[in-house]
Amino acid sequence: MKQLNLGGSNWQASQIAFGAWRMDALSVDQAAKAIDTAYDCGINFVDNADMYGKGESEQRFGDALKKTSVKREDLFIQTKAAIVLGEKYDFSREHIMNAIEGSMKRLGVDYLDSFLLHRPDPLMEPEEVAEIFDDLQKEGKVRHFGVSNFNPQQFLLLQESLNQRLLVNQVQFSLMHTPMIDHGIHSNMADDRSINRDGELIEFSRRMDVTLQAWSPFQYGFFEGVFIDNPKFPELNQELQKVTDKYEVSKNAIAAAWILRHPAKMQVIIGTMNPKHIIDSCQADGIEITRQEWYDLYKAAGNDLP
């Protein structure tokens, strides 16, 4: 599988990542099968978070990894922390340090390849976070750092205090979630799509050489469901089928290839636990849809061109 240099660094990882947020619903054997399938497809990057399944997704992954043929050193393992579900976002030293320890214990690892701050905390003290990151790196617990769902100013506010480069920003992006590009297309207009909701996040990330990790690549709304083969979206699925037939791959693969076609060089995080769907999604590797196909899919998803 094609490898990306994350955040302009020398750290290379698969352009498609395995998101383990649903893993808590699996048995250990089922989770092991999902991990083996992803690795056999060329995926070497795993994304998790301490809030997924209230820690059970990390625990299931850690237990399952021991039953696979995959070695820990063959994978890049990333997790996230800072969300206290339904209560607050917490970047305090006590919370982050405890979260890291808990995650490593559940995952069964003695270091994390990457750690992300999971959604912005309005009470963030950049200097405090900088000390936390320095200590985590000095202690060998975390190798790389990033954020999730930060806008450009939040990103810069933190980056300016750090000794480490923030390599990634994990954001929602898919054919059915495109505000990051809508307002650019509708620049200098007065319609709803012209509203700048994220501060030119894609353009900022390209200029700063930050890798955007696209989560929920097959979802619509905020975890409302998948758009693939969903009768609510007949025009999009008709267009997906047309492109699917041309390249002889799955609709999942074309939906992922649509994201990978963007010159921002994003990493796609697939969240399926179904081995067949994992294999289908990995078919996106090596597929480069045309410019016209990219626009046709964008329009079929309900978007317009002014």
Mean pLDDT of 200-215: 98
Kind and range of the H or E element at 95? helix 93-107
Q: Residue 223: which pLDDT band, with cuts at 50, 70 and 90? A: confident
Q: Could you give the CA distance from residue 77 to residue 143 in angstroms, rounded to a whole number?
A: 10
Span 131-147, pLDDT tens digits: 999 999 999 999 999 99
Mean pLDDT of 5-25: 97
Span 170-185, pLDDT tens digits: 999 999 999 999 999 9
220 catalytic? Reply is no
Per-residue pLDDT, 58: 98
Span 71-114, pLDDT tens digits: 999 999 999 999 998 899 999 999 999 999 999 999 999 999 99
Q: Residue 221: which pLDDT band, with cuts at 50, 70 and 90? A: confident
Per-residue pLDDT, 74: 97
Per-residue pLDDT, 33: 98
Question: Around Cβ 7, how many Cβ atoms within 10 Å?
Answer: 20
Span 231-261, pLDDT tens digits: 999 999 999 999 999 999 999 999 999 999 9
**Which residue of the set 39, 52, 220, 298 is catalytic?**
52
Q: Residue 293: which pLDDT band, with cuts at 50, 70 and 90? A: very high
CA–CA distance from 218 to each of 141, 239, 257 (Å)? 33, 15, 11
Q: Could you give the CA distance from residue 18 to residue 272 in angstroms, rounded to a whole number?
A: 8
What residues does each domain of the chain span? 3-300
Q: Could you give the CA distance from residue 219 to residue 271 in angstroms, rounded to a whole number?
A: 10
Per-residue pLDDT, 258: 98
Give the type of residue at 184: G
Per-residue pLDDT, 188: 93
The predicted model scores a pTM of 0.96
The DSSP output letter for 41 is T
Mean pLDDT of 24-41: 98
Q: Which residues contact 143 (CB under 8 A, 6 or more apart)?
A: 111, 112, 113, 114, 137
The DSSP output letter for 194 is G
Burial of 275 (0-12, 13-18, 19+ CB in 10 A): middle
Highest CATH level, class, for 3-300: alpha beta
Furthest CA-CA distance within the chain: 56
Mean pLDDT of 273-297: 97
Q: Which residues contact 76 (CB under 8 A, 6 or more apart)?
A: 11, 13, 44, 45, 46, 113, 114
pLDDT surpasses 90 at 211: yes
pLDDT surpasses 90 at 206: yes
Tell me the average pLDDT of the chain: 97
Q: Residue 5: which pLDDT band, with cuts at 50, 70 and 90? A: very high
Q: Residue 203: which pLDDT band, with cuts at 50, 70 and 90? A: very high
Q: Is the dihedral of CA 14, 20, 22, 23 positive or negative?
A: positive
